[in-house]
Amino acid sequence: MDIIQRYHAIPINFTPTPILSKMIRKTYFLILLNFVCISIYSNGVVFKKDALGAYLSLKSSSIEVKIENQVAITETTQSFLNQFGDSLHIKYGFPVPQDASATGLRYFINGKWHEAIFSSSPQDTTTGGSSDDPDENLVQYLGSNPLYFDLEEALGKDSSIIMELTYVELLQYKYGKVNYSYPNDYRPISSAQIDMQRISVSLKSDRMITTFSLLSHSADSASISSYEGFISCSSFENPAEMDYILQYALSQDDLGLFSLSTYIDDSLSVDDYGRGFFALIVEPDPSEQAETIDKVFTLIIDRSGSMSGDKIIQAKDAANFIVNHLNDGDKFNIVSFSSEITSFRSGHVEFNPDNESAALDYINSLVAEGATNISGAFDTSIPQFSYADNNTANIVIFLTDGEQTAGITNTDDLITHINQLVLTSEKEVTIFTFGIGSSTNERLLSTIARNNKGLAVFLENNQVEEVITDFYMMIQNPVLLNTSVEFQPNIIAERYPVEMQNLYKGNQLMLFGRYTEAAPMSITFRGNAYSNDVVYQYDLSLSDSTNHDYQFLLKLWAKVKIDELLLQYYLNIHVQETAESIKEEIIELSMNYGVISPFTSFIEGGEPFTGLDEWDIKEDPDDAGSSSNEYITILSLGPNPTREVLVIKLECSSLAHGRLNISLLNSFGQAIYVHSDYISGMGNFSHEIELGNLGLAPGIYVLVLEHQGKTLTRKVVVK
């Protein structure tokens, strides 16, 4: 059974506080990334500090996305207008995606650009008014992973502020398809028309791209080659009410073990783990011909009284879906619990039409009532796996919306009891736990999953059916169990995640880590399938130099380590000294690598951009600054000197895609003109600045063009 086709080298009882609960939910969503993706984020909001529901008007929204090998770096820029008629003290909020981490924030206020800096203090999450009277609408809009930024400098009346946030995320992958979404529905904040909305997405992949499309909108420009793609879309004077949804597909002929790596300069190193950063991606053959391992499967459903209403309906619908999508050769059972425990059958039965029909009848008969006897549910479920064959994938999906109120009620005793049940069964059982709503025992569910190579997922009340059915489809076809990886020579350090998951058809295993030297490496990938040990051997060379295309690996490695530490922090929160030590390590990682964590924040403190001091501008206007790079060339800039109009003419290469920022700075470094436009490939571009309308004094100014991280500068003389 060739589950990995070939090697393709690519140079890869404690009750938490509400804030901590949100943090843990984020942690588990991050771990769940390659299985389920729930989007609840959108454009940012600027609001008055001292009032509820007082939001500045969103005038423009520009999103630039760079995707490299399933890693997306999103730079989202919005312009807001102070329409309230007075100078305001304001605050910025942004609903960061669950699976993303903010890495940079800058802002333009009162004529100057500023860079926010990282702080080792947690962010202020107040939302207008007093801390006792939060803006519930805004809190709901910003979701469970909000970013807040407090501005001390007041914004003048009828003035605008530009907020530019950058975040990094690892994109969801299913059966060769990768999805990127930026929900753009601003209606919970405002349904007003927005002057300009734009999104630009550039894609690079070392694995062949077969399709690339914007599913939600009509693209203004789109191109695709074997390993690159570009899409842009714009809208003018329309409300923001539709999500941006993009999807691309990767060739299924390039499966196996992939690697990405970069080796940083010693001057950039901030720790002793090694200067190398790598990612490994393992993916099995997803075709129908590839064999999958039979499952012995149990679904445990909470039918206590608190599950009444929509929750039990969704749970039953999810259970019906799962039963309808079991595989031939699987065995299954269903256990439901409240005060009492019932079981569809006394043990696992074969999946066949008769048992399928009977199971559906059992599910539809469930009624929510009684207490929550979690220990009784596991007492019934786990011993049934004692009779499973040694060559099956043994899986439990457990869902509940509350804490244990019957049976064993002490959390530590219940964890110990479940561990003993699994040990006594003498079988490896993977347990996935789903907590519904805000009243679940998150420590219990996360520990059960952690101890049994599963995942813990925490849901809102209305997400049960969608998430569980989607999740089941991801684990429907196991191909390799008890996976592990070994490296020779021993130059690998700080590999995450620490616990490797089983491998399922259509999904990937991803590992991130560090290396101390760029030596040739042998990788041994192991697992079990059909009672046989499966071993795959690969040879690869890690990069011995800086690969600028893979510099995102530094932040991704820090991000996944922070996720791992957050999980450990939560599991040890009742041990104060241990938890505090983990917290300090998270803060240090966040500050060193520029990745926001629940314990750090952005604050003011960066110096305003200094204009003429920042740019290397010569005295001769005909030779003043840089005129070209690999993306764009300044063909002409004139007339110069000028008084009324300045016309910029550019020549763009085929690589020139995305947002072009145009700024004119005075001698104090203040931006007295700011404009953003999009260029989309080879051709000429021109832009006209009406200087006469700006009321400029005679003197020397600096034109700054920013595109794809590159800057061109020219001196402008105003007569």
pLDDT value of residue 699: 77
Closest listed residue to residue 201, CA positions, set 226, 225, 231: 231
**Contact of 710 with 628, CB cutoff 8 Å:** no
Bridge-based pairing state of the strands 456-459 and 683-690: unpaired
Residue 91, pLDDT > 90, answer yes
In tens, the pLDDT along 228-249 reads: 999 988 888 999 988 899 999 9
Instruction: Give a yes or no: residue 322 inside a domain.
Output: yes
Taking the CA atoms of 667, 673, 674 and 678 in sequence, report the sign of the dihedral they define: negative
Number of folded domains that form the chain? 3
> Quick one: pLDDT band at residue 662, thresholds 50, 70, 90?
confident
- The three-state secondary structure class of 124 is coil
Residues 327, 460 within the same domain: yes
Q: Domain ends where: 562, 577, 599?
A: 599
Residues 416, 510 within the same domain: no
Average confidence score pLDDT of the chain: 83
Buried b (16+ CB within 10 A) or exposed e, 463-486: bbbebbbbbbbbbbbbbbbbbebe
> Quick one: pLDDT band at residue 36, thresholds 50, 70, 90?
very low
Residue 284, pLDDT > 70, answer no
pLDDT (mean) for 635-642: 87
One-letter amino acid for residue 257 of the chain: L
pLDDT value of residue 17: 38
Residue 135, pLDDT > 80, answer yes
Residue 455, pLDDT > 90, answer no
Residues 470, 336 within the same domain: yes
Residues 302, 445 within the same domain: yes
pLDDT value of residue 73: 92
Taking the CA atoms of 626, 630, 631 and 633 in sequence, report the sign of the dihedral they define: positive
- The CATH number of residue 682's host domain is 2.60.40.3080
In tens, the pLDDT along 671-718 reads: 678 887 878 778 888 899 988 877 777 778 888 888 877 778 888 888
Largest CA distance in the chain: 91
Range of the domain at 636: 611-718
pLDDT (mean) for 190-212: 90
Bridge-based pairing state of the strands 331-337 and 295-302: parallel
> Quick one: pLDDT band at residue 131, thresholds 50, 70, 90?
low
447 against 570, higher pLDDT = 447
Residue 162, pLDDT > 80, answer yes
Q: Say which residues have a Cβ less than 8 Å from residue 409's Cβ, sequence separation at least 6.
A: none
Determine what percent of the chain is predicted with pLDDT higher than 90.
38
Residues 537, 660 within the same domain: no
Residue 285, pLDDT > 70, answer no
> Quick one: pLDDT band at residue 386, thresholds 50, 70, 90?
very high
Instruction: Give a yes or no: residue 214 inside a domain.
Output: no
What are the angstrom distances between the C-alpha of 513 and each of 140, 260, 277, 492, 517?
36, 11, 6, 7, 13
pLDDT (mean) for 308-313: 91
In tens, the pLDDT along 315-374 reads: 999 999 999 999 999 999 999 999 999 999 999 999 999 999 999 999 999 999 999 999
What are the angstrom distances between the C-alpha of 433 and each of 66, 340, 375, 624?
34, 20, 14, 63
- The CATH number of residue 323's host domain is 3.40.50.410
Instruction: Give a yes or no: residue 189 inside a domain.
Output: no
What is the distance between the alpha carbons of residues 174 and 28, in angstroms, rounded to a whole number?
A: 19
Q: Where are the alpha helices (DSSP H) in 552-656?
A: 552-571, 576-593
Residues 344, 276 within the same domain: no
What is the distance between the alpha carbons of residues 35 and 378, in angstroms, rounded to a whole number?
A: 25
State both tokens at 512: 């991130």
**Would you state the torsion angle of the CA atoms of residues 408, 414, 419, 425, taken in this order, to the nearest 10 degrees?**
20
- The three-state secondary structure class of 566 is helix
